[in-house]
Amino acid sequence: MTKMSTHHRAVEQIRQTYTDLPEGAKPRLAKATSNLFRFRDGGKAAQRSAQLSARDLDEVISVDPVTMTAEVQGMTTYEHLVDATLPHGLMPYVVPQLKTITLGGAVTGLGIESTSFRDGLPHESVEEMEILTGDGRIVVARDDNEHRELFRAFPNSYGTLGYALRLRIKLKPVQPYVHLTHLKFTDAGKCMLAMQEICESMHHDGEDVDFIDGVYFSPDELYITLGRFSDRAPYVSDYTGMRIYYQSIQKRKRDWLTIRDYLWRWDTDWFWCSRAFGVQQPVVRSLVPRRWLRSDVYRKLVALDRKHGVTARVDRWRNQPVSESVIQDVEVPIEHGAEFLSFFQDKVGMTPVWMCPLKSGSSWPLYPLETGKLYVNFGFWGMVPLPRGQFDGYYNRLIENAVHELDGHKSLYSTSFYRRDQFWQLYNGDAYWPVKQAYDPGGRLLDLYEKCVGGR
């Protein structure tokens, strides 16, 4: 049986399972991993949900090195996808930072990485999607067929219009190595200006630039990291063991990685968030098996802690102030980037902060970035002690307000506090609701506000 035949069987199985779900139950896709940070509370909404298995939809169906495309099932992780494409000298246009992000998840949500300054977001290299819609149909959506409106509205819909079962994506050539250059800045404004200039020219010091991101450590210590493909390397660094990638940025001006290690440079330590688990301490790190130094392992530990309230109990025992989880990615026009960093340092004060430039090449209605405009994604993930007299949501609300005052947008994979009317204005309810009515007229799936703000 071919992989495509196996795929067709899996599609029929999930379609039938969806049809057989109890009446009134809200479907919820059961995945082995998750990179969402909207934790359910186990209340009535969770009790009304029904699991929809996608375990047989996690394979790379084919890679075509001639057309430079791949047919991929929706629940396939980027780790497995990259393992299938690199032997052909190819990679997806945008490979999100964490190994267990799924292709379908990166499209129906949003993904980003250091090629986004040129190649946009992962959905911009998708040619075709096979989707299980809210009304139980299986449709094939493309930008040039009768399901175009669904194709355009699917990014940032977070499973509220349907689930991606198969995607055909474009691939691009790679070379075996990536040569890194870390540029240090002591002023955020100058850093943003340099980033803008490099993104627009796609060159630095007379050489092509293939990757750009950066890290904010403090108001007077920021770095832009430039990556350039190379067919050879004098050496390669290894940040999957004792050495830690983000710390190397402050210590080295140049570095070399294999293309695979470059793509997953952030995964070993979940950027820098592994420090919360003590595994950046040399003694602890030496005792932890390498296979456990992964973002999905840390994510499971966070879920367990959240479920059992261990950290909260320890903080109370130690008489520590209550902390708020501040886990967000936001996009701010680059001309306002320094202003956002100043606000964040003054009002939140959590470091480091990831900086990743991006430019969308087309209009996608549910995440209305201005086409051709350069933005910077600022990513920050951690716990911040609340001021006396303030309650959970204080910092996240401040961030939401600041982002939209600066003409930016916020990703919806984590906690949100928008009012309903504000939410639909920011995320284009006028475009969303006609598509929702066309493909889920009975409201079988939650709507985008219920899913992302209602926390269900």
Tens digits of residue pLDDT in 232-280: 999 999 999 999 999 999 999 999 999 999 999 999 999 999 999 999 9
Q: Are 381 and 248 in contact (CB under 8 A)?
A: no
Whether residue 76 lies inside any domain: the answer is: yes
pTM, rounded to two decimals = 0.94
- What per-residue confidence (pLDDT) applies to 44? 46
Whether 442 has a pLDDT exceeding 80, the answer reads: yes
Query: Averaged over 15-44, what is the pLDDT?
Result: 73
Query: Averaged over 359-381, what is the pLDDT?
Result: 95
- What per-residue confidence (pLDDT) applies to 52? 82
- What per-residue confidence (pLDDT) applies to 315? 61
- What per-residue confidence (pLDDT) applies to 50? 74
In angstroms, the CA 105 to CA 154 distance is 11
Q: Are residues 61 and 191 in the same domain?
A: no
Q: What is the CATH number of the domain that holds 332?
A: 3.30.70.2520
How sure is the predictor about 30, in pLDDT bands with cuts at 50, 70 and 90? confident
How sure is the predictor about 24, in pLDDT bands with cuts at 50, 70 and 90? confident
215-219, 257-261, 295-299, 396-400: which range is least confident on average? 295-299
Whether 312 has a pLDDT exceeding 80, the answer reads: no
Q: Are residues 135 and 37 in the same domain?
A: yes
Q: Are 120 and 358 in contact (CB under 8 A)?
A: yes
Provide the token pair at 157.
């819909």
Q: What is the CATH number of the domain that holds 57?
A: 3.30.465.10
Contacts of 55 (CB under 8 A, 6+ apart): 30, 32, 75
Query: Averaged over 417-431, what is the pLDDT?
Result: 96
Element (H, E) at 378: strand 374-385
In angstroms, the CA 376 to CA 335 distance is 9
- What per-residue confidence (pLDDT) applies to 22? 86
Provide the token pair at 304.
């367990």
Closest CA to 411 of 62, 87, 164, 106: 106
Q: Are residues 393 and 368 in the same domain?
A: yes
Rounded CA Rg of the chain: 22
Whether residue 372 lies inside any domain: the answer is: yes
DSSP for 384-398, please give it.
Answer: EEPPTT--TTHHHHH
Q: Are residues 238 and 348 in the same domain?
A: no
- 1 or 415: which leads in pLDDT: 415
In angstroms, the CA 105 to CA 77 distance is 9
Whether 347 has a pLDDT exceeding 60, the answer reads: yes
Question: What would the pLDDT profile of 126-179 be if each residue is shown by its tens digit?
Answer: 999 999 999 999 999 999 999 999 999 999 999 999 999 999 999 999 999 999
- What per-residue confidence (pLDDT) applies to 49? 66
Q: Are residues 213 and 124 in the same domain?
A: no
Q: Are residues 320 and 402 in the same domain?
A: yes
* Cα angle for residues 357, 358, 361 (degrees, 5° grid): 160
- What per-residue confidence (pLDDT) applies to 25? 82
Provide the token pair at 150.
């669904």
Whether 54 has a pLDDT exceeding 90, the answer reads: no
- What per-residue confidence (pLDDT) applies to 303? 79
Boundary-marking domain end, from 230, 246, 265: 265
Query: Averaged over 9-22, what is the pLDDT?
Result: 90
- What per-residue confidence (pLDDT) applies to 305? 72
Q: Are residues 140 and 204 in the same domain?
A: no
In angstroms, the CA 27 to CA 116 distance is 32
Q: Are residues 91 and 133 in the same domain?
A: yes
- What per-residue confidence (pLDDT) applies to 42? 46
- 301 or 262: which leads in pLDDT: 262
**Residue 306 CA from chain centroid, whole number:** 21
- What per-residue confidence (pLDDT) applies to 47? 46
In angstroms, the CA 53 to CA 29 distance is 6
**pLDDT mean across residues, the chain:** 92
- 420 torsion bin: left (phi>0), alpha (psi -120 to 50), beta (else): alpha
Whether residue 357 lies inside any domain: the answer is: yes
Whether residue 368 lies inside any domain: the answer is: yes
Whether 191 has a pLDDT exceeding 60, the answer reads: yes
- What per-residue confidence (pLDDT) applies to 38? 61
Q: Are 159 and 29 in contact (CB under 8 A)?
A: yes
Q: Are residues 186 and 169 in the same domain?
A: no
Boundary-marking domain end, from 265, 300, 324: 265
Length of the chain: 456
Whether 311 has a pLDDT exceeding 90, the answer reads: no
Q: Are residues 152 and 76 in the same domain?
A: yes
Quote the domain boundaries for residue 413: 309-417
Q: Are residues 48 and 191 in the same domain?
A: no
- What per-residue confidence (pLDDT) applies to 37? 66
Number of domains in the chain: 3
Q: Are 95 and 78 in contact (CB under 8 A)?
A: yes
Contacts of 37 (CB under 8 A, 6+ apart): 325, 327, 413, 414, 415
Q: Are residues 139 and 67 in the same domain?
A: yes
